[in-house]
Amino acid sequence: MGRVLRVVDKAADTEEQLQVLAGKDERGYFLDYYQINQDRDAETSSHHRILETGAYENLENYEGRWGREVFPGDPAKTEAEHDRIKAHNGRVTDLLRAKGFIK
């Protein structure tokens, strides 16, 4: 526990990356994972937790990967949303780095 493991499937022809981190909190044991999918068009990622009960939780994930919302006629609202996404993604990066999923 407390150590990030990188799962490698040498039989698969993929650039997908899966990293897992086992831990324990007040609810019991859990497995956090961070998955990166790379295809010919883009890179996507997901960050989730599996509890010892088998329940599945979404954790903090990046936003705005497929474009950012534009509010026609309201450039201030558009800019505020872009700033919110940038701040959120910065916090996600810090969290993933603290867990050891990214450098």
Give me the number of domains the chain comprises: 1
DSSP secondary-structure letter at 28? E
Query: Which tokens is 53 given?
Result: 């009960």
Domain boundaries, position 91: 4-99
Helix, strand, coil share (%) of the chain residues, nearest 5:
25, 35, 40
Could you read off the pLDDT of 42-93 as tens digits, one per residue? 678 999 999 999 999 999 999 987 777 889 999 999 999 999 999 999 999 9
Beta-sheet strand order (sheet of 56-58)? 4-7, 17-25, 28-38, 43-51, 56-58
Question: For residues 7 and 99, which has the higher predicted lDDT (pLDDT)?
Answer: 99
| Rounded average pLDDT over 20-38 | 93
| pTM confidence score | 0.82
What confidence score (pLDDT) does residue 17 get? Answer: 87
Q: Quickly state the pLDDT bin for 40 (edges 50, 70, 90).
A: low
- The two structure tokens encoding residue 33: 């994972």
Q: Write phi, then psi, for 45 (nearest 5 degrees).
A: -145, 160
Q: How high is the pLDDT of residue 86?
A: 94
Residue whose C-alpha is closest to residue 62's, from 79, 40, 84: 84
